[in-house]
Amino acid sequence: MILVVGTVRAPGGKLAELKGAIETMIAETLKEDGCIRYAFAQDLLDPDVMHVSEAWRDLDALKAHGKSAHMADWRTATADAGMTDRDIRMYTTDEGIAL
């Protein structure tokens, strides 16, 4: 399993402007083969920060996601919104243990 976890910053309240693009990105990504989880969440203490949380069956599924049309649209939308401070990491793991 591949986990993708991190944060991005959209300064000046730009996250609100990205709401439609965020909703589309999540909806389309959840349809992808190999997508287990795909979620964004606004930080409660810093409203300009969005947390990213993804789980993928394998690296091939994640690579296919990176080549999708909705990912290209997302890259354009986030660039136009001035997203900065992108810190997103990929981790390889097993299925994990419920806590």
Please report, for the chain, the start and end positions of each structural domain, with discontinuous segments joined by +: 2-92
In this predicted structure, the answer to whether residue 11 has a pLDDT above a threshold of 90 is no
Separation of alpha carbons 29 and 34, rounded Å: 10
Q: What is the pTM of this model?
A: 0.91
In this predicted structure, the answer to whether residue 90 has a pLDDT above a threshold of 90 is yes
In the structure, what pLDDT confidence band is assigned to residue 83 with cuts at 50, 70 and 90? Answer: confident
Residues β-bridged to residue 4: 54, 90
> Could you say which of 3.30.70.100, 3.10.180.10, 3.40.47.10, 3.40.50.720 is the CATH number of the domain covering 2-92?
3.30.70.100
The pLDDT tens digits of the residues spanning 16-57 come to 888 899 999 999 999 999 999 999 999 999 999 999 999 999
Q: Which tokens belong to 7?
A: 């944060």
> Given this model, what pLDDT does residue 45 score?
96
